[in-house]
Amino acid sequence: MSLLIGFSLVVVVFFTSLLSGIFGMAGGLVLLWFLLLVFPAGAAMAVHGVIQLTANASRAWLSRRFIVWRIVVFMLLGVLSAAGLLLLFNYSPNATVVSLLIGLMPILVWLPKRWFHLDANRASHAVCCGLASGGLTIAAGVSGPLIDIFFVRSRMDRRQVVATKAMIQVCAHTIKILFYLGSALSLGAGEWGIVLLAAPFAMLGTQAGNRILHRLTDANFRTWTRWIVTAIGAFYFTQGLVLLYQ
């Protein structure tokens, strides 16, 4: 990895963590795009998992008093089940599949809330959320918009949503790192050194984003999240189509 790419990684990690610190997602989508340019798909997933684990862990810690732990436990059961199924089918990612899956996710943020009768506060729904979002996290790297549809009918405010999502993503990214451990070991010590150097900047970006989050209203939070995720998804879907027909 060149010095320029290493510096770019640090900058991207900071600003994507800032974005996620504000909206609870979106930053991971941008970060994964950059990593797929630099690393093979499996290794990119592992690196993404390490950086996102750092960012989400710091976000969860900063908002720890808002975490709804009961939901996290039930979702974790679903994530573990998803990982087991993907191992059973010997899943292996590629940039085309990942781009198309992420590109389709923004559809979820535009569907009317009345269509969904999902509530993460219900145990069965939380397990299903963990199963679906955990599978998508491992298969495509991210799952923020999918997790959101399980929270739209909950009575949690924006701080509880961001904090609880951060904690479940700590669990999901930890499992993702283990899933792609073989690909991770293919990277050299120098490459991992730069990744570990960039990790603290994920915490700094998260702290900055957390301050901005507390200044937003719930309405502005949801509106900005919707448009940002849609723009990123459109880019990913276009990229996926280009890769598919190359």
Secondary structure percentages of the chain, helix, strand, coil, to 5: 80, 0, 20
According to the model, what pLDDT value does residue 78 have?
A: 94
According to the model, what pLDDT value does residue 73 have?
A: 95
Amino acid occupying residue 79? V
Q: Helix 158-179 crosses helix 218-244 at what angle (to 10 degrees)? A: 30
**Domain range for 91:** 3-244
Looking at the 3D structure of the chain, how many domains does it have?
Answer: 1
According to the model, what pLDDT value does residue 84 have?
A: 94
DSSP string computed for 54-73: HHHHHHHHHTGGG--HHHHH
pLDDT along the chain (246 residues), means of 10: 80 85 74 86 87 83 90 94 92 83 76 72 90 87 76 76 87 91 82 82 81 74 76 85 84
According to the model, what pLDDT value does residue 153 have?
A: 66
Total Cβ atoms within 10 A of residue 191: 18
* Cα(34)–Cα(147) distance, integer angstroms: 23
